[in-house]
Amino acid sequence: MKNIFVIGAGQMGAGIAQVFASHNFSVKLFDVNEEALKKGIEGIYKRLDRAVEKERMTKEGAEQAKAHLETASSMEDAAHCDFAIEAVVERMDVKEKVFRQLDDIMPDHAILATNTSSLPITDVAAVTNRPSQVIGMHFMNPVPVMKLVEIIRAIQTSDETYERVEKLAEQLAKTPVEVNDYPGFVSNRVLMPMINEAVFTVYEGVASKEDVDTVMKLGMNHPMGPLQLADFIGLDTCLSIMEILYDGFGDSKYRPCPLLKKYVAAGWLGKKSGRGFYVYE
């Protein structure tokens, strides 16, 4: 698998495209929004140039990565690719539409992957005519830095598909972890309830947001407090994942905190909106 098609040029999609290009894969990056696509490419170039400045990459390596990267004008450009991964909005209807298109366009041998952080891979696979070749490949943010990749097997995913994607992750210098298809997988099933409980401690007046974050940083050796981390992830994303966990398991321990819902309703989404639990310039 040398020819890679990435759908979605946001923070995750652009990061995924950068990592593949930096490891000598030929990458086509596509987004329905031309401005987002332009911004995604510019961001990749800036990160590569910064890596050269900080001596984490040679200038030749950065230029080679840029040469391996191109934009796609439509989904039809996936026709000659071996592997596709989508990083579009976390909505099942949008993802299913993307996978139906990829299934129609891409060659029979191609593997279709989703970077979803919580939606069921089994449901995505079911809308294609190649369910055994559909898999989850959940990168962590920021993609160029974080080593972990959750590889999520749908119930239909074949052993061959899993093995090929596991090898692909290793070629990207990532550490793959095999996960079965359950709501939230491992990362978000563990992380999001912790964040949600941190929000509850503020909501119930147990401690201030600063003190909650200090406890987790100094007491539990976390590099970032859970409320600051929630701001960086996006409070709307955190709420969406908690709702998926709550719906998927039907267990009250996953109920989203009312304060989290209120912040999202107010448009306080975290760093990307300028305000969440903290205020950002």
Alpha-carbon gap, residue 187 to 209, rounded angstroms = 23
**Is residue 279 domain-resident?**
no
Alpha-carbon gap, residue 178 to 166, rounded angstroms = 8
From 158, 180, 202, give the residue that closes a domain.
180
Query: pLDDT tens, 155-211?
Result: 999 999 999 999 999 999 999 999 999 999 999 999 999 999 999 999 999 999 999
Alpha-carbon gap, residue 158 to 203, rounded angstroms = 45
Q: Mean of the pLDDT values across residues 5-22?
A: 97
Catalytic residue list contains 138 = yes
Query: pLDDT tens, 115-146?
Result: 999 899 999 999 999 999 999 999 998 999 99
**Is residue 24 domain-resident?**
yes
Q: Which amino acid is located at 20 in the chain?
A: F
pTM above 0.75, yes or no: yes
**Is residue 281 domain-resident?**
no
Share of the chain above pLDDT 90, in %: 98
Q: Which of 22, 115, 117, 240 is catalytic?
A: 117
Q: Mean of the pLDDT values across residues 211-226?
A: 97
Helix ranges (H only) for the chain are 11-22, 34-53, 59-67, 92-105, 121-126, 159-171, 187-203, 209-214, 226-233, 235-249, 258-265
Alpha-carbon gap, residue 61 to 63, rounded angstroms = 5
From 180, 205, 224, give the residue that closes a domain.
180
Q: Which of 68, 115, 138, 166 is catalytic?
A: 138
**Is residue 248 domain-resident?**
yes
Q: Which of 115, 118, 188, 240 is catalytic?
A: 188
- Burial of 114: CB neighbours in 10 Å, binned 0-12, 13-18, 19+: buried
Residues 263 and 147 in one domain: no
Residue range(s) defining the domain that contains residue 212: 189-273
Query: pLDDT tens, 38-53?
Result: 999 999 999 999 999 9
Question: What pLDDT, on the 0 to 100 scale, is given for residue 69?
Answer: 97
DSSP state of 89: -
Q: Which of 68, 115, 150, 166 is catalytic?
A: 150
Split into its structural domains, the chain has a count of 2
What CATH number does residue 137 fall under? 3.40.50.720
Alpha-carbon gap, residue 201 to 209, rounded angstroms = 8
**Is residue 63 domain-resident?**
yes
Catalytic residue list contains 73 = no
Question: What pLDDT, on the 0 to 100 scale, is given for residue 281?
Answer: 83
Residues 152, 153, 158, 160: what is their CA dihedral angle, to the nearest 10 degrees?
Answer: 20
From 146, 180, 214, give the residue that closes a domain.
180
Q: How confident is the model at residue 256 (pLDDT cuts 50, 70, 90)?
A: very high
Question: What pLDDT, on the 0 to 100 scale, is given for residue 45?
Answer: 97
